[in-house]
Structure 1
Protein backbone atom coordinates (compact mmCIF):
# COMPACT_ATOMS: atom_id res chain seq x y z
CA UNK A 1 0.00 0.00 0.00
CA UNK A 2 1.34 3.41 -0.89
CA UNK A 3 0.98 6.27 1.52
CA UNK A 4 0.45 9.75 0.26
CA UNK A 5 0.69 12.74 2.49
CA UNK A 6 -0.71 16.20 2.59
CA UNK A 7 1.71 18.68 1.09
CA UNK A 8 3.18 21.24 3.43
CA UNK A 9 4.61 24.60 2.42
CA UNK A 10 8.09 23.09 2.05
CA UNK A 11 6.87 19.95 0.29
CA UNK A 12 6.57 19.12 -3.38
CA UNK A 13 3.97 21.18 -5.18
CA UNK A 14 3.17 18.54 -7.81
CA UNK A 15 1.59 15.72 -5.83
CA UNK A 16 3.51 12.51 -6.37
CA UNK A 17 6.51 13.71 -8.41
CA UNK A 18 9.87 15.27 -7.60
CA UNK A 19 13.18 15.55 -9.36
CA UNK A 20 16.14 14.32 -7.31
CA UNK A 21 19.24 16.45 -7.92
CA UNK A 22 22.49 15.00 -6.61
CA UNK A 23 25.22 17.64 -6.36
CA UNK A 24 28.89 16.83 -5.84
CA UNK A 25 31.72 19.36 -5.62
CA UNK A 26 29.36 22.17 -6.62
CA UNK A 27 28.15 20.47 -9.83
CA UNK A 28 25.08 18.40 -10.62
CA UNK A 29 26.23 14.78 -10.76
CA UNK A 30 22.85 13.29 -11.70
CA UNK A 31 19.24 14.36 -11.94
CA UNK A 32 16.28 11.99 -12.20
CA UNK A 33 12.51 11.92 -11.71
CA UNK A 34 11.09 10.08 -8.71
CA UNK A 35 7.70 9.32 -7.25
CA UNK A 36 7.10 11.15 -3.97
CA UNK A 37 5.93 8.58 -1.43
CA UNK A 38 5.98 10.62 1.76
CA UNK A 39 7.03 13.97 3.16
CA UNK A 40 6.44 14.68 6.82
CA UNK A 41 8.41 17.94 6.84
CA UNK A 42 11.58 16.24 8.12
CA UNK A 43 11.94 13.06 6.08
CA UNK A 44 11.19 12.70 2.38
CA UNK A 45 10.73 9.27 0.78
CA UNK A 46 10.80 8.76 -2.98
CA UNK A 47 10.90 5.80 -5.35
CA UNK A 48 12.71 5.66 -8.67
CA UNK A 49 14.16 3.10 -11.06
CA UNK A 50 17.96 2.81 -11.31
CA UNK A 51 18.95 6.09 -12.96
CA UNK A 52 22.44 5.10 -14.09
CA UNK A 53 23.48 4.07 -17.55
CA UNK A 54 23.73 0.30 -17.82
CA UNK A 55 25.18 -1.81 -15.02
CA UNK A 56 27.34 -0.54 -12.16
CA UNK A 57 29.19 -3.39 -10.50
CA UNK A 58 30.71 -2.50 -7.13
CA UNK A 59 31.91 -6.04 -6.48
CA UNK A 60 29.62 -6.45 -3.48
CA UNK A 61 26.43 -5.44 -5.38
CA UNK A 62 25.37 -4.68 -8.94
CA UNK A 63 23.00 -1.84 -9.77
CA UNK A 64 21.31 -2.54 -13.09
CA UNK A 65 18.33 -1.66 -15.25
CA UNK A 66 15.16 -2.88 -13.56
CA UNK A 67 16.41 -2.16 -10.04
CA UNK A 68 14.12 0.01 -7.94
CA UNK A 69 15.40 2.42 -5.29
CA UNK A 70 13.25 3.61 -2.40
CA UNK A 71 15.20 6.58 -1.11
CA UNK A 72 14.94 8.33 2.24
CA UNK A 73 16.26 11.87 2.71
CA UNK A 74 16.25 14.00 5.86
CA UNK A 75 16.22 17.75 6.24
CA UNK A 76 17.97 17.46 9.61
CA UNK A 77 20.43 14.60 9.11
CA UNK A 78 23.66 14.25 7.18
CA UNK A 79 22.77 11.11 5.22
CA UNK A 80 20.39 9.48 2.77
CA UNK A 81 19.42 5.81 2.82
CA UNK A 82 18.50 4.01 -0.40
CA UNK A 83 16.79 0.63 -0.28
CA UNK A 84 17.72 -1.32 -3.42
CA UNK A 85 15.53 -4.06 -4.90
CA UNK A 86 15.86 -5.95 -8.14
CA UNK A 87 13.10 -5.92 -10.77
CA UNK A 88 11.36 -8.88 -9.09
CA UNK A 89 11.26 -7.06 -5.75
CA UNK A 90 14.06 -9.00 -4.03
CA UNK A 91 15.95 -6.83 -1.56
CA UNK A 92 19.64 -6.39 -2.47
CA UNK A 93 20.47 -4.09 0.45
CA UNK A 94 20.85 -0.45 1.39
CA UNK A 95 23.24 2.07 -0.11
CA UNK A 96 23.75 5.09 2.11
CA UNK A 97 25.16 8.41 0.96
CA UNK A 98 26.66 10.82 3.47
CA UNK A 99 25.22 14.19 2.46
CA UNK A 100 24.36 17.59 3.75
CA UNK A 101 20.73 17.75 4.90
CA UNK A 102 18.38 17.62 1.91
CA UNK A 103 16.34 20.56 0.68
CA UNK A 104 13.04 20.37 -1.18
CA UNK A 105 12.20 23.51 -3.11
CA UNK A 106 9.17 23.23 -5.30
CA UNK A 107 9.59 19.86 -6.95
CA UNK A 108 13.41 19.67 -6.72
CA UNK A 109 14.90 17.53 -3.97
CA UNK A 110 18.52 18.71 -3.79
CA UNK A 111 21.15 16.64 -2.01
CA UNK A 112 24.87 17.42 -1.74
CA UNK A 113 27.00 14.25 -1.73
CA UNK A 114 30.02 14.41 0.62
CA UNK A 115 31.83 11.35 -0.82
CA UNK A 116 31.44 8.97 2.14
CA UNK A 117 29.12 5.99 1.65
CA UNK A 118 27.99 2.87 3.50
CA UNK A 119 26.60 -0.40 2.13
CA UNK A 120 24.52 -2.85 4.18
CA UNK A 121 23.59 -6.15 2.56
CA UNK A 122 20.01 -7.44 2.69
CA UNK A 123 20.88 -10.05 5.31
CA UNK A 124 22.92 -7.56 7.36
CA UNK A 125 26.11 -9.64 7.24
CA UNK A 126 28.05 -7.14 5.12
CA UNK A 127 28.45 -3.57 6.34
CA UNK A 128 31.03 -1.68 4.30
CA UNK A 129 32.40 1.84 4.72
CA UNK A 130 33.12 3.23 1.26
CA UNK A 131 35.06 6.05 -0.38
CA UNK A 132 36.92 7.27 2.70
CA UNK A 133 39.90 7.97 0.43
CA UNK A 134 37.74 10.23 -1.79
CA UNK A 135 36.47 12.03 1.28
CA UNK A 136 40.00 12.65 2.54
CA UNK A 137 41.06 13.90 -0.91
CA UNK A 138 38.05 16.23 -1.15
CA UNK A 139 39.65 18.72 1.25
CA UNK A 140 36.39 19.20 3.16
CA UNK A 141 38.20 18.82 6.49
CA UNK A 142 40.14 21.99 5.66
CA UNK A 143 37.52 23.98 3.73
CA UNK A 144 34.58 23.20 6.05
CA UNK A 145 35.70 21.39 9.22
CA UNK A 146 32.20 21.52 10.74
CA UNK A 147 30.70 19.75 7.71
CA UNK A 148 33.53 17.20 7.67
CA UNK A 149 32.94 16.38 11.32
CA UNK A 150 29.18 16.06 10.73
CA UNK A 151 29.84 13.76 7.76
CA UNK A 152 32.19 11.50 9.73
CA UNK A 153 29.73 11.39 12.63
CA UNK A 154 26.89 10.47 10.23
CA UNK A 155 28.93 7.59 8.79
CA UNK A 156 29.75 6.33 12.28
CA UNK A 157 26.07 6.53 13.27
CA UNK A 158 24.89 4.63 10.20
CA UNK A 159 27.54 1.97 10.66
CA UNK A 160 26.55 1.47 14.29
CA UNK A 161 22.86 1.19 13.37
CA UNK A 162 23.66 -1.21 10.51
CA UNK A 163 25.72 -3.48 12.77
CA UNK A 164 23.49 -3.36 15.86
CA UNK A 165 20.19 -4.07 14.15
CA UNK A 166 18.40 -0.73 14.55
CA UNK A 167 19.03 0.19 10.94
CA UNK A 168 15.61 -0.60 9.49
CA UNK A 169 13.92 1.46 12.21
CA UNK A 170 15.26 4.53 10.36
CA UNK A 171 12.91 3.74 7.51
CA UNK A 172 9.74 2.87 9.44
Structure 2
Protein backbone atom coordinates (compact mmCIF):
# COMPACT_ATOMS: atom_id res chain seq x y z
CA UNK A 1 0.00 0.00 0.00
CA UNK A 2 1.29 3.44 -0.94
CA UNK A 3 1.63 5.94 1.92
CA UNK A 4 1.87 9.59 0.91
CA UNK A 5 4.41 11.88 2.59
CA UNK A 6 3.19 15.05 4.29
CA UNK A 7 4.17 18.07 2.21
CA UNK A 8 4.30 16.13 -1.06
CA UNK A 9 2.16 16.85 -4.07
CA UNK A 10 -0.66 14.56 -5.15
CA UNK A 11 -3.22 14.66 -7.92
CA UNK A 12 -6.79 14.15 -6.71
CA UNK A 13 -9.02 12.50 -9.30
CA UNK A 14 -12.74 12.33 -8.61
CA UNK A 15 -14.64 10.00 -10.90
CA UNK A 16 -18.35 9.53 -11.37
CA UNK A 17 -19.86 6.62 -13.28
CA UNK A 18 -16.45 5.67 -14.67
CA UNK A 19 -15.72 9.16 -16.02
CA UNK A 20 -13.36 11.75 -14.59
CA UNK A 21 -15.44 14.48 -12.98
CA UNK A 22 -12.55 16.65 -11.79
CA UNK A 23 -8.78 16.39 -11.39
CA UNK A 24 -6.68 18.85 -9.40
CA UNK A 25 -3.36 19.21 -7.59
CA UNK A 26 -3.23 19.09 -3.79
CA UNK A 27 -0.67 18.97 -1.02
CA UNK A 28 -0.60 16.03 1.38
CA UNK A 29 -1.24 17.05 4.99
CA UNK A 30 -1.42 13.59 6.59
CA UNK A 31 -1.45 9.90 5.68
CA UNK A 32 -1.41 7.13 8.27
CA UNK A 33 -2.29 4.32 5.87
CA UNK A 34 -6.02 4.50 6.62
CA UNK A 35 -6.94 8.19 6.71
CA UNK A 36 -5.29 10.77 4.53
CA UNK A 37 -5.77 14.49 4.28
CA UNK A 38 -4.86 16.88 1.50
CA UNK A 39 -5.20 20.63 1.08
CA UNK A 40 -6.13 22.34 -2.15
CA UNK A 41 -7.64 25.58 -3.39
CA UNK A 42 -11.15 25.55 -4.88
CA UNK A 43 -10.72 23.54 -8.09
CA UNK A 44 -13.64 25.03 -9.99
CA UNK A 45 -12.98 27.16 -13.04
CA UNK A 46 -15.53 29.69 -11.79
CA UNK A 47 -17.15 30.53 -8.47
CA UNK A 48 -20.18 28.36 -7.74
CA UNK A 49 -23.22 29.41 -5.73
CA UNK A 50 -25.17 26.45 -4.35
CA UNK A 51 -27.71 28.65 -2.57
CA UNK A 52 -26.61 27.44 0.87
CA UNK A 53 -22.89 28.17 0.30
CA UNK A 54 -20.74 29.79 -2.34
CA UNK A 55 -17.41 28.25 -3.34
CA UNK A 56 -15.08 30.97 -4.59
CA UNK A 57 -11.63 31.59 -5.95
CA UNK A 58 -9.34 31.63 -2.90
CA UNK A 59 -11.36 29.12 -0.85
CA UNK A 60 -9.23 26.38 0.67
CA UNK A 61 -10.41 22.80 1.06
CA UNK A 62 -8.84 20.45 3.60
CA UNK A 63 -10.09 17.11 2.38
CA UNK A 64 -10.15 13.96 4.49
CA UNK A 65 -10.31 10.58 2.78
CA UNK A 66 -10.33 7.05 4.12
CA UNK A 67 -9.19 3.83 2.52
CA UNK A 68 -11.78 1.90 4.55
CA UNK A 69 -14.81 4.21 4.65
CA UNK A 70 -17.45 5.21 2.13
CA UNK A 71 -17.16 8.99 2.42
CA UNK A 72 -14.88 12.01 2.21
CA UNK A 73 -15.18 15.06 4.48
CA UNK A 74 -14.03 18.39 3.06
CA UNK A 75 -13.58 21.33 5.39
CA UNK A 76 -14.14 24.54 3.43
CA UNK A 77 -12.58 27.86 4.44
CA UNK A 78 -12.67 31.22 2.74
CA UNK A 79 -9.49 32.96 1.57
CA UNK A 80 -9.35 34.81 4.90
CA UNK A 81 -9.56 31.54 6.86
CA UNK A 82 -13.20 31.76 7.97
CA UNK A 83 -14.86 28.35 8.20
CA UNK A 84 -17.74 27.99 5.73
CA UNK A 85 -18.61 24.39 6.63
CA UNK A 86 -18.11 20.81 5.52
CA UNK A 87 -18.99 19.29 2.18
CA UNK A 88 -19.19 15.51 2.41
CA UNK A 89 -19.08 13.25 -0.62
CA UNK A 90 -20.35 9.71 -0.32
CA UNK A 91 -17.70 7.68 -2.17
CA UNK A 92 -16.13 4.28 -2.42
CA UNK A 93 -13.04 4.00 -0.20
CA UNK A 94 -10.13 6.06 -1.55
CA UNK A 95 -7.34 4.44 -3.57
CA UNK A 96 -3.78 5.77 -3.56
CA UNK A 97 -0.98 5.03 -5.93
CA UNK A 98 1.94 6.70 -7.64
CA UNK A 99 1.20 10.30 -6.61
CA UNK A 100 -2.53 9.97 -7.28
CA UNK A 101 -5.55 9.87 -5.00
CA UNK A 102 -8.51 8.27 -6.78
CA UNK A 103 -12.04 8.62 -5.42
CA UNK A 104 -15.31 7.40 -6.95
CA UNK A 105 -18.24 9.73 -6.22
CA UNK A 106 -21.51 7.87 -5.60
CA UNK A 107 -23.75 10.95 -6.09
CA UNK A 108 -24.94 11.39 -2.49
CA UNK A 109 -23.62 14.44 -0.63
CA UNK A 110 -24.10 16.17 2.71
CA UNK A 111 -23.53 19.83 3.57
CA UNK A 112 -22.97 20.95 7.16
CA UNK A 113 -22.73 24.69 7.86
CA UNK A 114 -19.93 26.10 10.01
CA UNK A 115 -22.28 26.59 12.97
CA UNK A 116 -23.78 23.11 12.52
CA UNK A 117 -27.25 24.63 12.26
CA UNK A 118 -27.77 23.58 8.67
CA UNK A 119 -27.43 19.94 7.62
CA UNK A 120 -28.57 19.25 4.07
CA UNK A 121 -28.78 16.00 2.10
CA UNK A 122 -27.90 16.65 -1.51
CA UNK A 123 -28.31 14.88 -4.84
CA UNK A 124 -30.53 12.03 -3.66
CA UNK A 125 -32.37 12.26 -6.97
CA UNK A 126 -29.08 11.82 -8.88
CA UNK A 127 -28.26 8.80 -6.73
CA UNK A 128 -31.59 7.14 -7.55
CA UNK A 129 -31.21 7.94 -11.25
CA UNK A 130 -27.62 6.64 -11.36
CA UNK A 131 -28.69 3.00 -11.51
CA UNK A 132 -26.20 2.03 -8.79
CA UNK A 133 -28.91 0.14 -6.90
CA UNK A 134 -29.32 -2.15 -9.95
CA UNK A 135 -25.63 -2.34 -10.98
CA UNK A 136 -24.17 -2.79 -7.50
CA UNK A 137 -26.80 -3.15 -4.74
CA UNK A 138 -24.16 -3.69 -2.05
CA UNK A 139 -22.40 -0.40 -2.93
CA UNK A 140 -25.77 1.38 -2.98
CA UNK A 141 -26.52 0.07 0.52
CA UNK A 142 -23.06 1.12 1.78
CA UNK A 143 -23.56 4.59 0.29
CA UNK A 144 -26.93 5.03 2.04
CA UNK A 145 -25.46 3.75 5.33
CA UNK A 146 -22.56 6.22 5.07
CA UNK A 147 -24.94 9.13 4.44
CA UNK A 148 -27.14 8.14 7.39
CA UNK A 149 -24.16 7.82 9.73
CA UNK A 150 -22.60 11.15 8.70
CA UNK A 151 -25.91 12.98 8.99
CA UNK A 152 -26.56 11.52 12.46
CA UNK A 153 -23.09 12.55 13.61
CA UNK A 154 -23.44 16.04 12.13
CA UNK A 155 -26.78 16.58 13.89
CA UNK A 156 -25.59 15.17 17.22
CA UNK A 157 -22.02 16.44 17.52
CA UNK A 158 -21.00 18.29 14.37
CA UNK A 159 -18.11 17.36 12.10
CA UNK A 160 -15.32 19.52 13.52
CA UNK A 161 -13.64 16.55 15.25
CA UNK A 162 -14.43 13.83 12.70
CA UNK A 163 -11.13 13.85 10.83
CA UNK A 164 -9.24 13.60 14.11
CA UNK A 165 -10.69 10.20 14.86
CA UNK A 166 -14.40 10.19 15.67
CA UNK A 167 -16.19 7.80 13.40
CA UNK A 168 -19.82 7.41 12.50
CA UNK A 169 -21.25 4.00 13.24
Question: What band does the TM-score fall into relative to the shorter chain?
Answer: over 0.9
Q: Look up the SS of the partner of 2:128 in the other structure.
A: helix
1:48 matched to which residue of 2?
40
Call closer, same or farther: CA 1:57–1:149 in 2, change over 3 Å.
same
Q: Look up the SS of the partner of 2:45 in the other structure.
A: coil
Give the root-mean-square deviation of aligned CA atoms: 1.2
Give, in whole Å, the separation in 2 of the partners of 1:114 and 1:99. Answer: 5
Deviations 1:6-54, CA, capped at 9 Å, x for gaps: xxx5113795111000000101111000000000000010000000011
Task: Verify the 8 A CA contact 2:112 2:118 in the aligned structure 1.
Answer: yes
Q: So what's the TM-score if we normalise by structure 1?
A: 0.92
2:2 matched to which residue of 1?
10
Q: 1:33 aligns with which of 9, 25, 33?
A: 25
1:4 matched to which residue of 2?
none
- Structure 2: gaps (5+ residues): 165-169
Give, in whole Å, the separation in 1 of the partners of 2:110 and 2:122. Answer: 6
1:87 matched to which residue of 2?
79
- Structure 1: gaps (5+ residues): 1-8
2:109 matched to which residue of 1?
117
